Structure 1
Amino acid sequence: MAIIKLSATERRRVSAFFTCLVLAVLAWVFTVLSNTYSYTIKTVLNFKNTPQKRAFHSLQSDTVNATVNGTGWEMLFSKLHKEAGSISVDLRSLEYKSYIVLSTQLSQINTKKEVEQQITGFNPDTLYFDFSNRKVKRVPIQLVTAVKYKHQFSQSGNVILNPAYVIINGPANIIDKIQTWKTDTLESDSISETINTRLTLQPVREGNVSVFPKTVEVTVPVDEYTEKTLEIPVKMINNYNYDDVKIFPQKVKVTFTTALSRYAQTDEDFFEATVDLDLWRKHGYKVLPVVIFKSPSYCKIVKIEPQNIDFIVKK
């Protein structure tokens, strides 16, 4: 392959040519991008001044295409920036009509935009709404947790929420489906003491639903746990015919974990162990399995000895 050999003067000329070419292209790009263009961007609608006496439901998406006047640079950056912008739409006029014309609010919307990025139109320009009766309902708050406890520590009682309920307000067809309202997730690691904190409730997803209050005080009692063993009397159930039945043994040993602060007060009266005679009468069981029918919520059963008991039915 032939190699073109250039003299020093020729190399300088070629270098100067390409330098001028690059500068010319950059100047052209800069000039083109400095001009003003109309382009379309996706815009999220945020509703404000929602009607207080009318429940509503939007009949279209919560995003519209906005036509914007801006420089080529701004158009380029809008294409690179994937997140949609947002505008506030005033819904005050829904008190007496069922639609909103966005173009009538252009001056109000553009006051919050830069002069170089003024919006000139929307697609769609008119938003339509469906109306229904507004309903108020009181529902319990549901705590969402992701708590990890230190070794031998755990929750020792019922969670206390203050308040325990929220008031939700909105269209009847939406409100009727809501049975609880969740909190944001309570996250903690290596917990070894009672948790006292304030959590935000999960936000409203529908623009026509309101929730009060927005936060809740949370108390999660935490205590160190230890094992304890008690002898619990066994009670027979479903002895419909009042048969003379003897069971052996009459007590079982129940080993469980309990909060250290409640160790002394937790005795056999807190538990109830049962066997079901129907298992013999209807299914022919030779021994009856022991079931712990009642136990404190802060206790966790570890083992039962024996798990099955013998019995004799006298005829």
Structure 2
Amino acid sequence: MAIIKLSAIERRRLQAFVTCLVVAIVAWLFTSLSNPYRYTVKQVIIFKNAPLKRAFHPLQSDTIDAIVQGTGWEMLFSKMNAGQKPVSVDLHTLETKDFIVLNTQLKQINLKKELNHQIIGFNPDTLFFDFSNRTVKRVPVQLVSAIKFQKQFAQSDNVTIKPAYVTISGPAVTLAGIKVWKTDSVKLNNINESFSSRVNLQKAKEGNLDILPKTVTVNIPIDEFTEKSMNIPVKLINNNNYYDVKIFPQKVRVTFTTSLTNYPEANEDDFEAVADLDKWRLNGYRVLPVKLTRLPSYSKIVKIEPQNIDFIVKK
């Protein structure tokens, strides 16, 4: 690679050129940033002089876009300054109106000197408020989830949500149609242990609803499952004529899945196996199918042996 060798005079000329270029760029930036610009900043709004005789609820977010006129320097520092003081909005006109036009308060807002730049407009320009009769209602929280378990793992007990209920306040007409309030979706993949976490509640689509609390604690018990087998006695049902009926066999072997935690406690009292005599009396069955009408929570039946039993009826 060729190396350019400069003489002492050429080096001085290059240094002078670079210095002039840097000075020119700085001067251009200084001049540009000193010019006036219009730009938009996010502002939090707070309310003062609320009406005393009317209960109200804002129908929009507590942040708005303020259209600001200022120098480039002010625009630069406004982007860097996340701690802007809020804009104070006077609500005294809500005694007779259902809305506030922000541009009519520009002079008062700028005179407060809570901001270091001049606001010339807002978007939206008008704030609307709800004055309908408000009521309060408690509804249960409903978990929204999509869970994929690791092989041999599954949910082993009921999900607990604390608090189990949320308080909703808003127009009575709107609240009448709300039966539950859903959480944000909990998505778990290839999970093999219990889940416990704070979960946000879904935000209200209507601007005139308040939800408390905003989050709940969700616990999902998860355990490893294995198979277990037991001999369960068969109970004869619908013997309305009190026939003398003998069944063979009197017990069936049930194989089911259960969590490792519940494995030692699982016993035949947790199950009920029945055979319906009406299958013979009304439909002419020669063998009676066995059906399980009770089994432990979160257990699954793998097989029943035999699935049908013989019987003898003595009239």
Normalising by the smaller structure, the TM-score range is 0.5 to 0.7
Rounded Cα–Cα distance in structure 1 between residues aligned with 2:288 and 2:100: 72
- Structure 1 counterpart of 2:300: 301
Rounded Cα–Cα distance in structure 2 between residues aligned with 1:159 and 1:223: 13
Summarize deviations over 1:267-300 as a string: whole Å, max 9, x none. Answer: 0001111233344444444433322211111x42
RMSD: 5.3
Unaligned stretches of 5+ in structure 1? 1-30, 73-86
- Structure 1 counterpart of 2:193: 191
Q: Helix, strand or coil: the match of 1:166?
A: strand
**Mean CA deviation greater in 265-274 or 173-182:** 173-182
Q: CA deviation at 1:255?
A: 0.8
- Structure 1 counterpart of 2:269: 269
Unaligned stretches of 5+ in structure 2? 1-30, 73-85
Rounded Cα–Cα distance in structure 2 between residues aligned with 1:224 and 1:126: 58
What is the TM-score when the length of structure 2 is the normalising length? Answer: 0.64
- Structure 2 counterpart of 1:231: 231
The answer on 1:54 being equivalent to 2:55 is yes
Q: CA deviation at 1:168?
A: 1.6
- Structure 1 counterpart of 2:181: 181
- Structure 2 counterpart of 1:25: none
**Mean CA deviation greater in 98-107 or 255-264:** 98-107
- Structure 2 counterpart of 1:135: 135
Task: Please tell me the residue identity of whatever aligns with 1:200.
Answer: V
Summarize deviations over 1:163-188 as a string: whole Å, max 9, x none. Answer: 22222222112222222222333344
What is the TM-score when the length of structure 1 is the normalising length? Answer: 0.64
Rounded Cα–Cα distance in structure 1 between residues aligned with 2:95 and 2:235: 66
- Structure 1 counterpart of 2:163: 163
Q: CA deviation at 1:144?
A: 2.9
Rounded Cα–Cα distance in structure 1 between residues aligned with 2:267 and 2:247: 23
Rounded Cα–Cα distance in structure 1 between residues aligned with 2:274 and 2:110: 71
Task: Please tell me the residue identity of whatever aligns with 2:198.
Answer: L
Rounded Cα–Cα distance in structure 2 between residues aligned with 1:177 and 1:106: 44
CA distance 1:288–1:69, change in 2 (3 Å): farther
CA distance 1:143–1:45, change in 2 (3 Å): same
Residues 1-315 of structure 1 mapped to structure 2, 5 A cutoff: 54=55, 56=57, 58=59, 90=89, 92-93=91-92, 94=94, 97-103=97-103, 104=105, 108=109, 120-121=120-121, 125-188=125-188, 189-191=191-193, 195=195, 197-205=196-204, 206-297=206-297, 299-306=298-305, 308-312=307-311, 314=313, 315=315
Rounded Cα–Cα distance in structure 2 between residues aligned with 1:91 and 1:309: 79
What is the aligned residue count? 299
Contact 2:138 2:165 in 1 (8 A): yes
**Mean CA deviation greater in 94-103 or 63-72:** 63-72
Task: Please tell me the residue identity of whatever aligns with 1:302.
Answer: I
Q: Helix, strand or coil: the match of 1:140?
A: strand
Q: CA deviation at 1:231?
A: 0.9
Q: CA deviation at 1:161?
A: 2.3
Q: CA deviation at 1:266?
A: 0.7
Q: CA deviation at 1:264?
A: 1.8
CA distance 1:99–1:292, change in 2 (3 Å): same
Contact 2:160 2:218 in 1 (8 A): yes
Contact 2:106 2:120 in 1 (8 A): no
Q: Helix, strand or coil: the match of 2:174?
A: helix
- Structure 1 counterpart of 2:16: none
Rounded Cα–Cα distance in structure 2 between residues aligned with 1:311 and 1:112: 93
Rounded Cα–Cα distance in structure 1 between residues aligned with 2:291 and 2:90: 61
